[in-house]
């Protein structure tokens, strides 16, 4: 009789990790495109908001690369990015609600990612959970 393996995956770029990487890449493209357009055409209207969107874009790009690399360095990069992302979306989300005058236009993280269906607040939690699930014992 064949033995069934029930080991947990240890690579971040395997199984459901591929879907997570795809979502990070999608958000990287969306945030980069939006930030580039806003900075190029209307930077004087909401510089803080547009720079925060650019920061979010960089975090998404680096997180996708970190998750895509299966090694220890990639895991550390992904962990740092997911942590920065979670702190950023919670901090910017709260700050944008407390001081809406500083956010005349939305960012990826303002309103806890409400403009993106709250995925920006869920994504780092899923990333951190995946990193925890795939850790080596």
Name the token pair of 111. Answer: 């309103």
Instruction: Output the pTM of the full model.
Output: 0.88
- Listed by start position, the domains of the chain span 16-135
DSSP-based three-state secondary structure for 10: coil
pLDDT in tens, 58-115: 999 999 999 999 789 999 999 999 999 999 999 999 999 999 998 888 889 999 999 8
* Alpha carbon distance 137, 126 (integer Å): 20
The DSSP secondary-structure symbol of 6 reads -
DSSP string, 58-106: HHHHHHHHHHHS-SHHHHHHHHHHHHHHHHHHHHHHHHHHH-GGG-SS-
pLDDT of res. 2: 60
Question: How many angstroms separate the CA atoms of 106 and 46, rounded?
Answer: 9
Report pLDDT digits (tens) over 13-68: 988 999 999 999 999 999 999 999 999 999 999 899 899 999 999 999 999 999 99
pLDDT greater than 80 at residue 137:
no
pLDDT band at 8 (very low <50, low <70, confident <90, very high): low
Helix (H) or strand (E) holding 108: none
Burial class (CB in 10 A: 0-12, 13-18, 19+), 22: exposed
pLDDT of residue 70: 74
Query: Which pLDDT score, from 0 to 100, does residue 121 have?
Result: 96
């Amino acid at each position: 009789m064949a033995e069934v393996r029930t080991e947990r995956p240890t690579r971040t770029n395997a199984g459901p990790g591929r879907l997570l990487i795809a979502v990070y890449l999608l958000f990287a493209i969306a945030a980069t495109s939006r930030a580039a357009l806003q900075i190029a055409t209307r930077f004087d209207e909401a510089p803080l908001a547009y720079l925060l969107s650019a920061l979010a874009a960089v975090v998404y790009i680096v997180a996708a690369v970190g998750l895509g690399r299966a090694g220890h360095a990639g895991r550390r990069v992904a962990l740092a990015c997911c942590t920065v992302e979670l702190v950023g979306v919670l901090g910017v989300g709260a700050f944008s609600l407390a001081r809406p005058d500083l956010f005349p236009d939305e960012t990826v993280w303002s309103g806890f990612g409400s403009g993106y269906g709250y995925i920006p607040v869920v994504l780092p939690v899923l990333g951190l959970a995946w990193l925890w699930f795939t850790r080596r014992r």
